[in-house]
Structure formats: C-alpha cells, structure tokens
C-alpha cells in the first residue's frame, strides 16, 4: 500500500488509528499491539501476499537468535550468533536482491550460462533486514536486552517505516511501544502529525510526480538531449528523488506522530551541504548511521591512519551503492561518493577551516567560499545521480557525454511538453487556440516555475524547522487544507493510451 493512495489515506490510516487508540483506551495494550502488527502486515501484503512469508520468516529467525542468546548467554555463543545473524540476514538479502546480478556477472566473466531466477524482490527487504541486523548485532554485543515478541514485531513491522525507512533502531522504537503513557491520544502530536504528513504528501505528488515525466523522457532519450536539456533533466532528477524520498519520510514521521511514535528524520537540508562529506550527514541519515555504526567504526573508522580511513570510507560507500540496487550503476554512484568523501576527509588547511568558519579572514569571503562549495557539492551530487538513475553504465556514460558536449537546440521545449500539468490546461488551451506557436514556451515557463519552487524549498527550512517553529493557527489550517486537497486530487490522473504512432 502506498501512503499516496486513496485507500491508505481514507481507509487504512483512519482504521489503524481508530483501532490503536480505542484498544489502548480500553487498556487492552497487548491487543492494541497485536492489532497494529496485523494492520502493518496487511499494509505490507497489499502489494503481494507472498511477501508476507519473507518478512515473517526474517522476524522469526532474528527473534529466535535473540531468544537463544537469552537462553545461553556466553561470549562464544554470542560470537557464533553474531556470525549466524550476519550470514542469515545478508544471505536472505543476497538471495532475493543480488542472486540474478551475481549470476549475470558470473556468466559475463566466465562465459558461462547459469540460469537467472528473475526473483521478485520483496518490498522493503533492504530496510527491514538492516533494521533486524542492527538488533542482532547489538544483542550479540550485549548492548540490548531480549524484547517481548509483540514489542519486537511492532519495531520491525510498524507500517510507517516498513517499506522505505527511515532505518529505525530498536532502541528508538521499542521503548516507545513499551511506554504506556504514549498510548493515549494526544491532540498536539496528532495535529503536528497531520501537518507533517500533508507536507510530505505534497512533496511527493505535487513536486516529485510532476517532475517525473520530464526525467523519464530524458533518461529514455539520452542521445537526443542537448547540453541544456541534459543539465535541466539532471537537476530535475535530483529534485524529484529528493522530494520523492524526503516526502515519503515526512509522511512516515507524520504518521508516527499521529500514533505518538517518534520516527527519526532522514534528511536535514542536504543540498545546503558544503562538502560531499557533509552531504552524507544530511542525506538518508539513518542509512549513514547504520553504515557508520556497524561497518565503518568496526573497521577502524578514522582511527588507524589516513590510508585505512580512505579504505574504510570506500568500503562503506561501495556497500552503500550496492545496497541501493543490484546494478553497477549504483555501485559506481557509491564509489563516486566514496572518493569524494575520502578526499573531503583528507582535506586539511584553509579549505576545511574556511568551511567550518574557524580563524579565517573576512566573513564575506567565508560566506562566498561556503556558497561556492555548496554549489559545487550540489553539482557533484546531481552528476553522480545521473548514474543512479541510468539503466546501465553505458547509458550513464552516454549521459555524461550529453552533459559535456556543447550544443543547444530546442529539445528543452520537447522536454517541457512532457510535463502535462493539468493545472495550466486552460491557459495552454487558450494559447494554443490563439497563438499556437507560444504553447511550448508556456510549458517551459511551467517547468521553470516547478524547478524554482523546488530550489526554493531545498534551500529553505526543513519540514521539522517549518513545523516546530509554527503555531497551528486557523490561518495555517486553511493553507494546509488547500495543500492536502490539492494533493488528494493529484493522486489519480487520466492517461493517454497511445496505441499506434500517427
């Protein structure tokens, strides 16, 4: 089930909230948790019921390991469980997500002909696997207690964070489910939750989804792009991805608040970063936290010299790339970021002091330096995302050629025409009936407005800053109403069925 769907907004979510608060009000706390787990499994199985077996098996295995540790708590047994936990979790993830990728590369490398299985990837497997892996590792390290089954299932399956994160730690969620005082309805938390959800929904359906057709056009017609359209589409994709993912995370945080469960932020104005290293402290923060805690630091982090720091950084970003998808494009994207972060880590002297603002000259210069660094970081991120979006390395490299091959045509007008924004239909139609030649420029203007809104938002406050500073007034309720209704009306569209090429 998607957050941005009628069934979720008008049926599932009200039902889940009603059942949760009603059962807790009746002090049926266990039943309330069972209800929430049941609803979360419905949410998960809505896409494909066969996915249920995978998540339930994964929960059973990890919870079982925790139970075994509780029964036999010796250092050796913990070590065995640690190895087992990693093998089982990464084995399941590897099978479902990377089997075909592995076979494909093996066949290419050894000229063999092993069959691929075309395995259907269970939704959110990367997220709930990492979440549970962190739990098992903490159990083996002795940093976590064994939880009650219902608490554990609530932690793993809680639907707001189930299929696309944030990657929430057990230490963040389980205590909240155990806290009975959080089971009472709180109007303040609920109101902010509604606002948070609406902001996220609007980011997703009004911004990301409107940019998507232009991006789709660009990445399916790479060789036809001129320099300008290639750059505009690369920027558009960066915005689309950000609004899509951060919109989803805002909705998750908002729903969490409606349940009085705090879910951590996943983004903190990432495009204000003045270095790629800083970008990774602001972008997909819970993934960065996972890799830092469970990979980078155990490998030695930055404590073992510069070379090891670089190696450890590259390992983390290689894995991060691979985690995002079974394709060399993701790996390359990860490696690109790894190199940039490694360079940032090794940077010393003026540039770093300038960025941090320590003991440098005039403040104007410092600000200017930071602005320049922000622009370069943003451009680097945009370029790297080209590989993230490309279907193959060949496509990514071709796109790079389009970006750097100088040439301007009217391609940007064709790209703009892909947007098909219903809100400007009347204007477009009126112009097409009067001065038809102006129509492409109207679409271009709409595209530019969309990009401008996007840039304004990414350079402004985060959702948290916007909402925590704001009082929930009647005036704000009107603004939120319009945003919500506009978003709901945007959930459905009318397609054009193209059946033959005129």
Partner 1 sequence: MEKKFLKHFFIQVCVLLALAAAVVIVIDPFFHYHSPVSPLKAVVTKAEYQCVGTIDHFDYDSILLGSSVAENFNNRWFDDCFDCKTVKGIKESGTTADLIYYLERAYESHEIENVFYSLDLFALYADTQPTVLGDGMPLYLYNDNPIDDVKYVWNKTVIFEHIPYMAAMSLIGDYDEGMSYNWGQYKTFSAADTVSRYNRLSEKAEVKSADEYVDLIDENISLIEEQIKAHPETNFYIMYPPYSMLWWDNIYMCGELEQYFYALEESARRLSQYDNVRINYYQAEESIILDLNHYMDNIHFSEAINAWMVEQWNTQEYALTSENYTEYVDKMRILVDEIEAYHIKEYYE
Site string for partner 1, 178-217 (x = CB under 8 A): ---------xx-xxx-x-----------------------
When the beta carbons of 406 and 500 are compared against partner 1, the nearer one is: 500
Within 8 A by CB and 6+ apart from 187, the residues are: none
When the beta carbons of 117 and 470 are compared against partner 1, the nearer one is: 470
Q: How would DSSP label each residue in 328-367? A: HHHHHHHHHHHHHHHHHHH--THHHHHHHT-S-S-HHHHH
Site string for partner 1, 251-290 (x = CB under 8 A): ----------------------------------------
215 burial level (CB within 10 Å; 0-12, 13-18, 19+):
buried
Smallest distance from partner 1 to CB 477, Å: 4
Smallest distance from partner 1 to CB 180, Å: 22
434 near partner 1, rule: CB under 8 A: no
Cα distance between residue 206 and residue 477, in whole Å: 19
When the beta carbons of 406 and 497 are compared against partner 1, the nearer one is: 497
When the beta carbons of 158 and 192 are compared against partner 1, the nearer one is: 192
Binding residue for partner 1 (CB under 8 A) from 425, 435, 438, 452? 425
| Phi/psi of residue 130, nearest 5 degrees | -65, -40
Instruction: Please tell me the count of residues contacting partner 1 according to CB under 8 A.
Output: 39
Smallest distance from partner 1 to CB 481, Å: 4
- The SS3 assignment for 72 reads coil
Q: How would DSSP label each residue in 286-304? A: HHHHHHIIIIITTTTTTTT
Binding residue for partner 1 (CB under 8 A) from 109, 404, 426, 434? 426
25 near partner 1, rule: CB under 8 A: no
Region at 357 (left for phi over 0; alpha for psi -120 to 50; beta for the rest):
left
Q: Based on DSSP, count helices (H) and strands (E) in the chain, helices before strands.
A: 24, 0
135, 170 Cβ separation under 8 angstroms: yes
Q: Tokens standing for 243?
A: 């609004």
Cα distance between residue 177 and residue 34, in whole Å: 12
406 near partner 1, rule: CB under 8 A: no
- Give the C-alpha distances (Å, rounded to integers) separating 376 from 268, 323, 346, 371, 462: 18, 26, 18, 9, 21
Binding residue for partner 1 (CB under 8 A) from 91, 305, 422, 460? 422
When the beta carbons of 10 and 376 are compared against partner 1, the nearer one is: 10
Binding residue for partner 1 (CB under 8 A) from 74, 111, 118, 501? 501
Site string for partner 1, 443-482 (x = CB under 8 A): ----------------------------xxxx-xxx-xxx
294 burial level (CB within 10 Å; 0-12, 13-18, 19+):
middle
**Peptide bond just before 311 cis, omega within 30 deg:** no
Give the other-Cβ count within 10 Å of 113's Cβ: 7
Smallest distance from partner 1 to CB 148, Å: 33
Tokens 């995002």 locate to 324
Smallest distance from partner 1 to CB 412, Å: 24
Catalytic residue among 170, 221, 284, 324: 324
Cα distance between residue 41 and residue 55, in whole Å: 9
When the beta carbons of 406 and 499 are compared against partner 1, the nearer one is: 499
When the beta carbons of 204 and 337 are compared against partner 1, the nearer one is: 204
Piece of the chain touching partner 1 by CB under 8 A; list 167-175, 399-407, 408-416, 486-494: 486-494
Smallest distance from partner 1 to CB 191, Å: 4
When the beta carbons of 98 and 486 are compared against partner 1, the nearer one is: 486
When the beta carbons of 128 and 199 are compared against partner 1, the nearer one is: 199
Q: Tokens standing for 448?
A: 């530019």
Piece of the chain touching partner 1 by CB under 8 A; list 78-86, 213-221, 259-267, 422-430: 422-430
Q: Tokens standing for 457?
A: 């938002």
Binding residue for partner 1 (CB under 8 A) from 6, 95, 114, 376? 6
Smallest distance from partner 1 to CB 189, Å: 9
Q: Tokens standing for 316?
A: 């983390």
What is the distance, to the nearest Å, from the Cα of residue 225 to the centroid of all Cα atoms in its chain?
28
Tokens 């894995």 locate to 319
Cα distance between residue 337 and residue 321, in whole Å: 9
361 near partner 1, rule: CB under 8 A: no
Indicate the length of the chain as a whole number: 502
When the beta carbons of 279 and 484 are compared against partner 1, the nearer one is: 484
491, 205 Cβ separation under 8 angstroms: yes
Binding residue for partner 1 (CB under 8 A) from 145, 179, 423, 465? 423
Site for partner 1, residues 288 to 307, rule: CB under 8 A: none
146 is catalytic: no
Give the residue numbers annotated as catalytic, written as ranges.
324
Judged by the rule CB under 8 A, the positions of this chain that interact with partner 1 are 6, 10, 187-188, 190-192, 194, 422-423, 425-426, 429, 471-474, 476-478, 480-482, 484-486, 488-495, 497, 499-502
């Amino acid at each position: 089930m998607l957050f941005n769907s009628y069934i979720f907004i008008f049926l599932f979510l009200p039902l889940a909230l009603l059942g949760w608060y009603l059962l807790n009000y009746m002090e049926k706390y266990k039943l309330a948790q069972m209800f929430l787990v049941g609803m979360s499994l419905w949410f998960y199985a809505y896409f494909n019921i066969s996915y249920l077996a995978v998540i339930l098996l994964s929960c059973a295995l990890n919870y079982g390991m925790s139970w075994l540790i509780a029964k036999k708590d010796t250092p050796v047994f913990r070590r065995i469980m640690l190895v087992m936990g990693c093998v089982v979790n990464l084995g399941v993830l590897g099978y479902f997500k990377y089997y075909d990728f592995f076979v494909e590369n093996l066949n290419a490398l050894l000229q063999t002909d092993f069959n691929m299985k075309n395995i259907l990837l269970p939704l959110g497997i990367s997220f709930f696997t990492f979440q549970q892996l962190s739990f098992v590792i903490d159990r083996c390290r002795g940093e976590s207690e064994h939880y009650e089954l219902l608490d554990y299932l609530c932690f793993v399956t809680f639907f707001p964070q189930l299929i696309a994160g944030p990657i929430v730690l057990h230490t963040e969620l389980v205590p909240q489910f155990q806290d009975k005082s959080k089971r009472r309805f709180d109007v303040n938390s609920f109101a902010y939750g509604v606002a948070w959800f609406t902001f996220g929904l609007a980011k997703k359906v009004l911004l990301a989804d409107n940019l998507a057709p232009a991006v789709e056009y660009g990445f399916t017609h790479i060789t036809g792009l001129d320099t300008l359209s290639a750059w505009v589409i690369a920027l558009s994709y960066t915005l689309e991805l950000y609004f899509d993912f951060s919109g989803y995370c805002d909705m998750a945080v908002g729903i969490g608040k409606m349940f009085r469960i705090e879910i951590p932020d996943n983004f903190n104005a990432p495009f204000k970063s003045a270095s790629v290293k800083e970008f990774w402290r602001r972008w997909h923060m819970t993934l960065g936290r996972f890799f830092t805690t469970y990979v980078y630091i155990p490998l030695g982090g930055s404590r073992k010299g510069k070379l090891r720091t670089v190696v450890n950084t590259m390992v983390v970003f290689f894995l991060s790339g691979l985690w995002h998808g079974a394709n060399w494009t993701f790996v390359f994207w990860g490696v690109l970021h790894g190199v940039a972060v490694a360079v940032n880590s090794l940077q010393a002297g003026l540039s770093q002091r300038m960025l941090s603002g320590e003991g440098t000259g005039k403040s104007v210069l410092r600000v200017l330096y930071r602005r320049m660094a922000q622009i370069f970081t943003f451009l680097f991120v945009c370029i790297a995302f080209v590989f993230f979006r490309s279907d193959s390395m060949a496509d990514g490299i071709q796109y790079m050629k389009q970006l750097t091959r100088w040439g301007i045509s009217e391609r940007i007008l064709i790209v703009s025409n892909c947007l098909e924004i219903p809100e400007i239909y009347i204007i477009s139609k009126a112009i097409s009936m009067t001065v038809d030649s102006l129509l492409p420029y109207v679409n271009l203007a709409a595209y530019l407005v969309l990009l401008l809104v996007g840039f304004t938002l990414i350079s402004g406050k985060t959702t948290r800053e916007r909402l925590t500073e704001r009082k929930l007034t009647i005036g704000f309720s009107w603004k939120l109403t319009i945003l919500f209704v506009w978003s709901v009306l945007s959930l459905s569209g009318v397609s054009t069925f193209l059946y033959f090429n005129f």
